[in-house]
C-alpha cells in the first residue's frame, strides 16, 4: 500500500473512529477523522480524499445528507457507507447518492480491508480510463490541424511544420494545387498563433481588378480620385495587429508586387492620395497554385518579393498522392453535410469507396467535398453507392477494377498487389532485364531486387 492514499473516516462513535483509524493506518493509509457529517463536509471542502468511510446514522447531518451536500467535491473520492441498521433500501439509496459500496456493522476487519481493496481496483480502472481518454484526445488532435484531417505521413509532416511556425510572426508561403486546402492551412496557423484574437482577412489577389488593387490594399483618403467621397481603410489597415492571407499571390501584377514588397520590408503603407505613410503590424500568409520559381524565371514575378515571401514554405500534396486521406475526409464531409441538411448519415458502399480511392481528383479536396455533398443529398436507404456518384467519376477508373483483386481497404495489401502486377508487366516487357526494369519503374536497382525477393517469398 502506498502511504499517499488519503482516507477520511466519518463516524459519531469515538471507539469506532479509533478502531478504524488503527486498522486502515496499519494497511498504509494516511487517515483523518470527523465526528459527524458537518465536520466531514468541512474537510472535503478543504482537500480531496481518495477514500471515505462514512457512517449512515449520525446526529445532525447523517451520511446520506453528507453525500448530497458534498456533491462534486466527492468527484475524485470513493465513498464506502457503513451502518448497523443496513438494509437493501438504504444501500440502494446510498448508491444513488454516489456511494461505491455499503458494509453492515458489526463487521470484521477483513471486510473493511476487502472493501477498500475493491475500491483501490476501481480507482485504478478509473485512472486508466482517464489516461486512455487523454491519449485518445491527443491522437485526435494530432490527426488534424485546424479544420483539416489526414492520415498520410506527408500531411502529418505538413501539420507538424505548420504547428511549429504558427506561434511566430514569420511570413509563410503555402503552395499546392487548387482545391488542396491552402486557406484552411492559413486559418489553422492563424488559430494557433498569438494573433488568434486579432483580425484574420483572406483576399484573393486574382479576384480584384488591377486598377483597384492599390486602393483595396492600402485604402484611400477622401478626394483622392473621382468618386472618393469618403476616406476608406484598406485591407492592410483592417488587418492591423492580425493576419492577412493573400491567396493566389502569383496573380499580382508587377507594379503591385513592388508596393507589396515595401510593406513587407518597412511595415508601412501609404493610402492613395495621402502624403504620409502609416505603420501597420500585419502577419502575411500567402498562397499560390503557381510555381513561383518558374514565374520568376519568366519575368512575371519579382525575385526579391519571392524570397521575402518564401521565408517558410509549406507545400500541400495533391489528393491523388495521398489516397489514404480519402476515408477520413469522406467521414468529415458526411458529418458536415448531414448536420447541414438533416437526416441520418449515409454509409459509403465498398464499390463507391473504390471509386474514390482510384479516381485522380483533379479538383483535389474541394472536388471530393462537392461529390460527398451530392452523395448525401442523393443517398437512399442510408447508403451512398455508385448510383449517387457523378458519371465522370465512375468512368475514370482504370481498366480492370482493382476491387476484384483484393477485399477491404488495406493500402499495404493494395500496394503489394499493384507493385507485383507492375513489376511482372515490366519484366515481361524488358525480357527479364532487371536494370532496364528498374529505370522504367523509376526505382533503384537494389529496391527492385528487394521487391522481387518479397514477391517470391510470398509465393508470387
Q: Which fold has domain 6-135?
A: Rossmann fold (3.40.50)
How far is residue 345's CA from residue 336's CA, in Å, rounded to a whole number? Answer: 10
Q: What is the pTM of this model?
A: 0.57
Q: Which fold has domain 333-404?
A: Helicase, Ruva Protein; domain 3 (1.10.8)
411-457 shares the fold of 146-317: no
Q: What are the angstrom distances between the C-alpha of 21 and each of 31, 111, 146, 380, 413?
A: 6, 15, 53, 67, 62
Spell out the domain ranges in the chain: 6-135, 146-317, 333-404, 411-457
Instruction: Say what the pLDDT of residue 439 is.
Output: 74
Sheet containing strand 172-176, edge to edge, reads: 200-204, 243-247, 283-288, 172-176, 312-316
Copy the grid coordinates of residue 284.
Answer: 502575411
Phi, psi (rounded to 5 degrees) for 421: -65, -45
Task: Assess whether pLDDT exceeds 80 at residue 408.
Answer: no
Copy the grid coordinates of residue 289.
Answer: 497554385
Q: Per residue in 264-311, pLDDT tens?
A: 999 999 999 888 999 999 999 999 999 999 999 999 999 999 999 999
Is 1.10.10.60 the CATH classification of the domain at 411-457? yes
For residues 277 and 268, is the Cβ–Cβ distance under 8 A?
A: yes
Copy the grid coordinates of residue 88.
Answer: 437493501
Q: Per residue in 32-82, pLDDT tens?
A: 999 998 999 999 888 888 899 999 888 888 888 898 888 878 877 889 988
Mean pLDDT for 368-380 is 91
CATH number for domain 146-317, candidates 3.40.50.300, 3.30.70.141, 3.30.70.100, 3.90.1170.50: 3.40.50.300
Q: Per residue in 287-298, pLDDT tens?
A: 999 999 999 999
Instruction: Say what the pLDDT of residue 366 is.
Output: 92
Task: Assess whether pLDDT exceeds 50 at residue 401.
Answer: no
Share of the chain above pLDDT 90, in %: 43
Amino acid at each position: 500500500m502506498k502511504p499517499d492514499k488519503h482516507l477520511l473516516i466519518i463516524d459519531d462513535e469515538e471507539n469506532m473512529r479509533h478502531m478504524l483509524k488503527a486498522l486502515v493506518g496499519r494497511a498504509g493509509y494516511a487517515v483523518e477523522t470527523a465526528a459527524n457529517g458537518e465536520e466531514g463536509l468541512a474537510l472535503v471542502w478543504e482537500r480531496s480524499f481518495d477514500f471515505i468511510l462514512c457512517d449512515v446514522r449520525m446526529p445532525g447531518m447523517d451520511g446520506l445528507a453528507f453525500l448530497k451536500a458534498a456533491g462534486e467535491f466527492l468527484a475524485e473520492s470513493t465513498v464506502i457507507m457503513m451502518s448497523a441498521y443496513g438494509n437493501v433500501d438504504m444501500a440502494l439509496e446510498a448508491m444513488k447518492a454516489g456511494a461505491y459500496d455499503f458494509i453492515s456493522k458489526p463487521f470484521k476487519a477483513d471486510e473493511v480491508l476487502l472493501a477498500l481493496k475493491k475500491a483501490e481496483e476501481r480507482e485504478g480502472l478509473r485512472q486508466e480510463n482517464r489516461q486512455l481518454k487523454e491519449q485518445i484526445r491527443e491522437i485526435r488532435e494530432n490527426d488534424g490541424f485546424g479544420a483539416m484531417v489526414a492520415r498520410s505521413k506527408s500531411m502529418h509532416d505538413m501539420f507538424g511544420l505548420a504547428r511549429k511556425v504558427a506561434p511566430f510572426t514569420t511570413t509563410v508561403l503555402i503552395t499546392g494545387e487548387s482545391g488542396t486546402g491552402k486557406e484552411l492551412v492559413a486559418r489553422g496557423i492563424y488559430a494557433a498563433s498569438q494573433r488568434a484574437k486579432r483580425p484574420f482577412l483572406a483576399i484573393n489577389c486574382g479576384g480584384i481588378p488591377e486598377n483597384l488593387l492599390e486602393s483595396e490594399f492600402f485604402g484611400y483618403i477622401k478626394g483622392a480620385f473621382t468618386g472618393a467621397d469618403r476616406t476608406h481603410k484598406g485591407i492592410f489597415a483592417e488587418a492591423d495587429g492580425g493576419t492577412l492571407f493573400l491567396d493566389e499571390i502569383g496573380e499580382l501584377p508587377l507594379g503591385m508586387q513592388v508596393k507589396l514588397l515595401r510593406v513587407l520590408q518597412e511595415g508601412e503603407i501609404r493610402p492613395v492620395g495621402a502624403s504620409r505613410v502609416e505603420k501597420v503590424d500585419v502577419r502575411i500568409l500567402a498562397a499560390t497554385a503557381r510555381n513561383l520559381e518558374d514565374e520568376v524565371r519568366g519575368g512575371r514575378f519579382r525575385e526579391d518579393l519571392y524570397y521575402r515571401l518564401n521565408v517558410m514554405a509549406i507545400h500541400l500534396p495533391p489528393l491523388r498522392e495521398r489516397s489514404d486521406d480519402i476515408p477520413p475526409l469522406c467521414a468529415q464531409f458526411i458529418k458536415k453535410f448531414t448536420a447541414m441538411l438533416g437526416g441520418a448519415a449515409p454509409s459509403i458502399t465498398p464499390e463507391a469507396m473504390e471509386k474514390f480511392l482510384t479516381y485522380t481528383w483533379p479538383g483535389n479536396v474541394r472536388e471530393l467535398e462537392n461529390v460527398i455533398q451530392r452523395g448525401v443529398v442523393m443517398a437512399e436507404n442510408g447508403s451512398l453507392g455508385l448510383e449517387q456518384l457523378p458519371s465522370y467519376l465512375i468512368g475514370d477508373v482504370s481498366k480492370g477494377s482493382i476491387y476484384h483483386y483484393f477485399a477491404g481497404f488495406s493500402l499495404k495489401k493494395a500496394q503489394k498487389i499493384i507493385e507485383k502486377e507492375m513489376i511482372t508487366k515490366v519484366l515481361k516487357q524488358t525480357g527479364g532485364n532487371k536494370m532496364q526494369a528498374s529505370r522504367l519503374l523509376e526505382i533503384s536497382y537494389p529496391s527492385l531486387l528487394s521487391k522481387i525477393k518479397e514477391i517470391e517469398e510470398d509465393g508470387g
